[in-house]
Amino acid sequence: MASSAKPAYQARLDARNGKHTGPTANVAPGHVQANLAILPRALAADFLHFCQLNPKPCPLLAMSEPGDPSLPRLGEDIDIRSDVPRYRVWRNGELVDEPTDIRAYWRDDLVSFLIGCSFSFEEAMLDNGLPVRHIEQGCNVPMYRTNVPTERAGPFGGPLVVSMRPLKAADAIRAIQVTSRFPSVHGAPVHFGDPSLIGIADINRPDYGDAVEIREGEIPVFWACGVTPQSVVAAVKPEFCITHAPGHMLVTDWLNSRVAVL
Amino acid sequence: MASSAKPAYQARLDARNGKHTGPTANVAPGHVQANLAILPRALAADFLHFCQLNPKPCPLLAMSEPGDPSLPRLGEDIDIRSDVPRYRVWRNGELVDEPTDIRAYWRDDLVSFLIGCSFSFEEAMLDNGLPVRHIEQGCNVPMYRTNVPTERAGPFGGPLVVSMRPLKAADAIRAIQVTSRFPSVHGAPVHFGDPSLIGIADINRPDYGDAVEIREGEIPVFWACGVTPQSVVAAVKPEFCITHAPGHMLVTDWLNSRVAVL
């Protein structure tokens, strides 16, 4: 098939066919990857409103029609039931399964939300010669629940979750410029410096992901994080919901350069 | 005269006619103001090279032909010998006069350099609802000699001078975005946070200007400053040189919005 030569499409086919069941970091470099939340139609309008009110943690790239597993806006022939390498299935807030395919769970009332992810701006940071510590250290980005509230919509609300990358001041200034170009993948940081000002008690004990080294002269810089919608959905404990497994994203046909506003 | 209705031109006429001999803060709002350095032709090529090598502290807006007091690029009918409210005349590095007119000092070999000033980006900060502390406190911006070297050109070299504005982290992030739009008036900050990392021993004792209050939760943010070329020229002790008196700038016909790159 001619299209199979396209790296993003090939990545989705590999997920679909069970050839790739791992994290998608460094898969199809240059392509936008997306966080996934699938909710019953009854909750979809409120969740959409929540994304609209909180664009920094929840930059919505696309949503599906109820029951429709395709996402033509994001790529050719996407089947959201199979094209993510690993899923998490939740019932009443409890994790019940981590399958590589959700065809068995599919329902006609399910709506898929695809939300921008920091992989895109991290690529831009690396392209600009900026260090990304958790990539250097080969671990997950550290993430923290803050005391900064999100804007509530229906049952959805709760604290902002942020990711952290330590940078020297001059690099932080450049990183603010670089990531400002990517508003649809979290954009500019929301905070830097003193973690206690946003309710983080211990920078060395992230709530999600792994702690990373902060070196002499470096400042922690915090970006709104796509884990926010997941933690918000988890708090609501919907009767049914599906997300991607952490780090196992949907690889879209979009180029990162396409989501740069400048 | 019809043109006299234009506020920038009127400001220059007022300086020329001795009606205005004070600082130019808030004169002709919305117009670009410029730092002035006038040097003998023998030093002009090296100074131009110095500006080219150090665009953040020395963003050159325009330079004149030797002996020509006009600056058609910057505004109608400019006479650089009279249109700045107050000058400083230097011989061998010694301040010898602070006249309101330099016709008596003019020479056929003098070249004028007009360099962007932070008034332009401060206006953009205020327009974006960001606080500018020294304006709030009605004093001069605090400025510091750093241990960051400039790039040397001929006899010109020495430390970068920075100005400082204290901001909360979220405001600092916005200020970085806002001032990045103005590369020809110093652009984005060069540093924030720990002053000792750029060789500033005591933030409360600026080398030029006035100390300002840094409030709880605020971080000092540092921008390259147009005093850098003045301090560099002073160190060279040229046989003859003229600058503007601090705060007494050339008001140009350019609009601040014109020097925004985005």
* Domain co-membership, A194 together with A102: no
Handedness of CA B129, B134, B137, B138 (dihedral sign): negative
* Domain co-membership, B131 together with B219: yes
Residue A10 within any structural domain of the chain: no
> Which residue on chain A is closest to B196 by alpha carbon?
A217
CATH of the domain at B43: 3.40.1640.10
- B113-126: pLDDT as tens digits: 999 999 889 999 99
* Domain co-membership, A209 together with A137: yes
Query: According to the model, what pLDDT value does residue A180 have?
Result: 95
Residues whose CB falls within 8 Å of the CB of residue A26, separated by 6 or more in sequence, listed in order: none
Residue A26 within any structural domain of the chain: no
Dist CA A235 CA A246 (whole Å): 17
* Domain co-membership, A41 together with A164: no
Whether B188 sits inside 8 A of A169 (CB atoms) is no
* Cβ A220 vs Cβ A203: under 8 Å: yes
Q: What domain range is A52 assigned to?
A: 32-117+230-258
Residues whose CB falls within 8 Å of the CB of residue B31, separated by 6 or more in sequence, listed in order: B7, B8, B11, B251, B252, B253, B254, B255, B256
Residue A147 within any structural domain of the chain: yes
* Domain co-membership, B71 together with B48: yes
Check if B206 contacts A (Cβ < 8 Å): no
- B178-201: pLDDT as tens digits: 999 999 999 999 999 999 999 999
Global pTM value: 0.88
How many separate domains does chain A show? 2
Give me the residue from B188, B219, B262 closest to A262, CB to CB.
Answer: B262
CATH of the domain at B221: 3.30.2040.10
Give me the residue from A169, A173, A193 closest to B169, CB to CB.
Answer: A193
Check if A221 contacts B (Cβ < 8 Å): no
Tracing tokens 């209050």 back to the chain, one arrives at B213
* Domain co-membership, B169 together with B211: yes
* Cβ A36 vs Cβ A112: under 8 Å: yes
Residue A20 within any structural domain of the chain: no
For an interface test with B, give the residue of A162, A167, A176 to mutate (most B CBs within 10 A).
A176
Check if A189 contacts B (Cβ < 8 Å): yes
Check if A195 contacts B (Cβ < 8 Å): no
* Cβ A51 vs Cβ A113: under 8 Å: yes
DSSP H/E element including A120: helix A119-127
Q: Round the average pLDDT of chain B to a whole number and report it.
A: 94
pLDDT values of chain A reduced to their tens digit, one per residue, 262 residues: 444 459 999 999 999 999 999 999 889 999 999 999 999 999 999 999 999 999 999 999 999 999 999 999 999 999 999 999 999 999 998 999 999 999 999 999 999 999 999 988 999 999 999 999 999 999 989 999 999 999 999 999 999 999 999 999 999 999 999 999 999 999 999 999 999 999 999 999 999 999 999 999 999 999 999 999 988 988 899 999 999 998 899 999 999 988 888 7
Query: According to the model, what pLDDT value does residue A4 have?
Result: 45
* Residues of chain B neighbouring A175 (CB-CB closer than 8 A): none
CA-CA distances (angstroms) from residue A15 to A12, A36, A51, A78, A255?
5, 15, 27, 11, 19
Provide the number of CB pairs (under 8 Å) joining chain A to chain B: 47
Give the closest-approach CA distance of A193 to chain B in angstroms: 7
- Complex ipTM: 0.83
| Helix, coil or strand: residue B176 | helix
* Domain co-membership, A126 together with A89: no
3-state DSSP helix/strand/coil percent for chain B, to nearest 5?
A: 30, 25, 45
Count of Cβ atoms closer than 10 Å to residue A79 Cβ: 16
* Domain co-membership, A203 together with A215: yes
* Domain co-membership, B163 together with B174: yes
Tracing tokens 């032909």 back to the chain, one arrives at B65
pLDDT values of chain B reduced to their tens digit, one per residue, 262 residues: 444 459 999 999 999 999 999 999 889 999 999 999 999 999 999 999 999 999 999 999 999 999 999 999 999 999 999 999 999 999 998 999 999 999 999 999 999 999 999 988 999 999 999 999 999 999 989 999 999 999 999 999 999 999 999 999 999 999 999 999 999 999 999 999 999 999 999 999 999 999 999 999 999 999 999 999 988 988 899 999 999 998 899 999 999 988 888 7
Pairing label, strands B218-224, B159-168: antiparallel
Helices B169-180 and A169-180 meet at what angle, rounded to 10? Answer: 70
